[in-house]
Amino acid sequence: MKSKPIAHEIITKSISHQELPKQIKTFKTASTASDKGRKLKPEGTSEKHEILILSSYPPRECGIATYTMDLISSLNNKFSNSFSISICALETGDSKFLYPREVKYTLITTLDAEYKKMATTINNDNDIKMVVIQHEFGFFAKQEQALQQLISELSKPVVVVFHTVLPHPDLKLKLNIQRIAAFCKSIIVMTNTSAKILMKDYDIPQQKISEIAHGTHLVPHLNEKFLKEKYNLKGRKVLSTFGLLSSGKGIKTTLEALPAIIEQCPEVMFLVIGKTHPEVVKTEGEKYREMLHNVVTRLNLEKHVRFINRYLPLPELLEYLQLTDIYLFTANDPLQAVSGTFAYAMSCACPIISTPIPHAKEVLTEDTGIIFDFKNSQQLADAAIQMLSDDELRRNMSVNSLQKIASTAWENSAVAHATLFDQILNEERPLKFNNPVINLDHLKKMTTDTGIIQFSKINQPDISTGYTLDDNARAMIAMCMYYQATGDNESIKYIWEYLTFIKHCQLPEGGFLNYTDRNNQFTNQNDDVNLDDSNGRAIWALGYLLSLKDIFPLEIISEADHIIEKTFLLIESMHSTRAMAFSIKGLYYYHTTIKSPENLVLIKKLADRLVQMYKHESEKEWEWFESYLTYANSILPEALLYAWLLIGNTTYKKIAVKSFNFLMSKIFNENGIEVISNREWLQKGEKAASFGEQPIDVAYTIMTLSKFYDEFQEEDYRLKMKTAFNWFLGNNRLHQIVYNPCTGGCYDGLEEFNVNLNQGAESTVSYLMARLTIGKYTNPESSVKAELQKQLKVHTKKKNPTYLTDSKNV
């Protein structure tokens, strides 16, 4: 369990609950302890439910179409075994689109008769179990009555998502919204402001309102310098805005501010990204864009403004946002509740200057951006000059923006929506999380010719933190597991690097040091910290590697055998609880390959010491080896299980089972799994502290559950294993992902109100070990090797992007 260096405090500090955009408030997934007394259907006995979403949809170009496509993609990626999503595409009747296959129906929103027909069609479709309506007043401008009729006639539960909530409604609008709400199971809004307006101005009961923030994309945080060169912006300070253009975007405000900004910062370039809104083109053509070009000419801004008159593919758009120094949101409608463009900019770590729409006022604070008054070019210029002249301010705003917006990732939005859908459908089965494709990108990025780097800032390796024996031992285990499952020969290169680092750390007498600096020189930290546990982990790693001698080159096996043989005298003198347990595990694996009485003698000696510790500390309400629970707890009962398997002493088995079941009672609850906090250990007779949950402890628990399930075939162990793995995927106290599928990294912990966005070696390797472990049980109809080889082909086709150490995002 690692303490984070001071340099990382800007990432790891807790953020108050009031500062964070709310993702979901009270939902719990159906697989937790809150279902006590509720009879759950076995997995596989329920078919997945079809949910029909009424929305505009690509290729129609509008913000809600993009929103719906992103939502569906995230739900399919995470919950395709629980739900199938289909679309009823909303059209105006004057355009025809060639839709993708998920579009099942179309509704012409300008024709009243079509609404009643659609209600009948949906009611007669037995596959559809729920209807979700993406509501924007522009969709149903003159057909709100018809929409009410459609909702009232539906026999399926309905959820309405209000993208705009207007304050201070007149009586007609208030009654309209109240009638819609009356026929809904739930109303989704994206900001706390919108929720309050619904309750205060429309008298909608709070229990009917669900607040789920606008989703945002995870991005790899590519190097800013590289991206600026790619898009011919080298040496420029970039201001940007994006979205379908209309007069409401307020672009003219920025153009009028630019002369003052350029005077102070002549390298400024303003990017106006996006084509004119199709509905605007229908009514007035390119009048607005032409007016903007005229302003550029009048103010002599041609060298400082670039119009990108295209509807950009998502990857290209995200790259433009990642190279942006300041994002400008200048919309001039004070009633605009939420902005997807605003949210996407924050997810790309853009400092933001924004007009005071409700979304901005909820999310932006002085540490993430600046708010200015509508149409006030002078305030905008002053704010931009302040930011552009202070690189440190912008860097801090970038990091803080990422932390504040992290909870709104589309993956978290999928968890929130799926949980709500599950509750409405009153399902008696747990949500089925999909296992992510295995992605080694971040592990490889963290690995140099020396070994795996200890820490990262966000997802950028921080070479200044050096290397540790702990991380390289675990990384070697993970890559051995991966090679065993896939046969990917590239793994051997990494295993060699980690093994070489372990050898470098070994002292002549057989023990190991743990810490080296960026130049692989041992540091003074080795004199200040107890190294017993690190030595035990190294023995575990060496033993595991040697247990796979039949699949590895002889040179690797000989090297590992030479290193482990030098540790035997060290092992005999071990008394540290976890060091003994890790060593037993390593010796168990070693003995599967090289059987010798000496191995059994060592295992028995260490196991007997654990038994004595257990007998000394355990009592009726505390069946444990120590008077406290700390880190890596599950390794203790697991070690005695290994000892029983080799030696046959039933005392080992009894204590292993009792102590492990005791541990499970302390870390599994209504939130799923909550491992012991690294903030404060659990003392005998006291209540467990909350927060500070570390991926490494969840991963160790999964590996121990796997071994217990393999030996005893108790279904409870398998179910707990799945619940624990889902902690990484969002089934946790915060309902937020801990594993980042975009980078392949794993966040460094679950704090009180937020995840720690750093993706260090310990967390990333821990997730990989957990993913490889759970993979053995979640693909019963095909081998794990076949599954992983298929995934490997997907990732080897992608070329790694250019990463450098001076990314603006860190």
Rounded Cα gap, residues 776 and 544, in angstroms: 17
pLDDT at 430: 80
What pLDDT, in 10s, does the model give residues 117-128?
A: 999 999 999 999
Residue 355 has pLDDT above 70, yes or no: yes
Please, what is the angle between helix 251-264 and helix 377-388, to 10°?
40
**Mean of the per-residue pLDDT values of the chain:** 89
Q: pLDDT band at 361, cuts 50/70/90?
A: confident
Q: For residues 233-252, give the mean pLDDT.
A: 93
Lowest mean pLDDT across 89-103, 657-671, 685-699: 89-103
Q: pLDDT band at 18, cuts 50/70/90?
A: very low
Residue 31 has pLDDT above 60, yes or no: no
Lookup result for tokens 């003074």: 524
Q: pLDDT band at 801, cuts 50/70/90?
A: very low
What pLDDT, in 10s, does the model give residues 275-284?
A: 998 888 888 9
CB 252 within 8 A of CB 295: yes
pLDDT at 781: 38
pLDDT at 778: 75
Whole-number Cα distances in Å, 415 to 78, 343, 726, 787: 8, 18, 11, 25
Q: pLDDT band at 502, cuts 50/70/90?
A: very high
pLDDT at 785: 53
Rounded Cα gap, residues 581 and 603, in angstroms: 9
Residue 807 has pLDDT above 60, yes or no: no
What pLDDT, in 10s, does the model give residues 523-579?
A: 999 999 999 999 999 999 999 999 999 999 999 999 999 999 999 988 999 999 999
Q: pLDDT band at 244, cuts 50/70/90?
A: confident
pLDDT at 448: 98
Q: pLDDT band at 42, cuts 50/70/90?
A: very low
pTM of the model: 0.89
Q: For residues 196-220, give the mean pLDDT.
A: 95
pLDDT at 479: 98
Residue 140 has pLDDT above 70, yes or no: yes
Structure tokens at 671: 């939130």
Q: pLDDT band at 690, cuts 50/70/90?
A: confident
Mapped onto helix, strand or coil, the DSSP state of residue 508 is: coil
Residue 67 has pLDDT above 90, yes or no: yes
Structure tokens at 232: 């011919």
Residue 805 has pLDDT above 50, yes or no: no
pLDDT at 560: 98
Structure tokens at 306: 């670039």
pLDDT at 429: 74
CB 637 within 8 A of CB 702: no
Q: For residues 467-483, give the mean pLDDT.
A: 98
**Closest to 769 in 3D by CA, of 746, 748, 751, 791:** 746
Share of the chain above pLDDT 70, in %: 90
Residue 293 has pLDDT above 70, yes or no: yes
CB 104 within 8 A of CB 87: yes
pLDDT at 366: 87
**Closest to 314 in 3D by CA, of 322, 303, 326, 306:** 322
Residue 5 has pLDDT above 80, yes or no: no
Mapped onto helix, strand or coil, the DSSP state of residue 108 is: strand
pLDDT at 54: 97
**Closest to 757 in 3D by CA, of 345, 369, 401:** 401
Query: 3-class secondary structure for 743-771?
Result: CCEECCEECCCCEECCCCHHHHHHHHHHH
pLDDT at 414: 97
Q: pLDDT band at 794, cuts 50/70/90?
A: very low
Residue 406 has pLDDT above 60, yes or no: yes
What is the identity of the amino acid at 666?
K
Go through 779-800 and write b for each residue having 16 or more CB atoms within 10 A of its CB, e for each that does not: eeeeebeebbeebbeeeeeeee
In 174-267, DSSP assigns E strands to: 186-189, 209-211, 237-242
What pLDDT, in 10s, does the model give residues 728-757?
A: 999 999 999 999 999 999 999 999 999 999
**What Rg value do the Cα atoms of the chain yield, rounded?**
29
What pLDDT, in 10s, does the model give residues 419-438?
A: 999 999 987 778 899 999 99
DSSP letter assigned to residue 799:
P
Alpha helices in 350-440 (DSSP H): 358-363, 377-388, 391-405, 410-425
Q: For residues 14-32, give the mean pLDDT.
A: 38
Mapped onto helix, strand or coil, the DSSP state of residue 50 is: strand
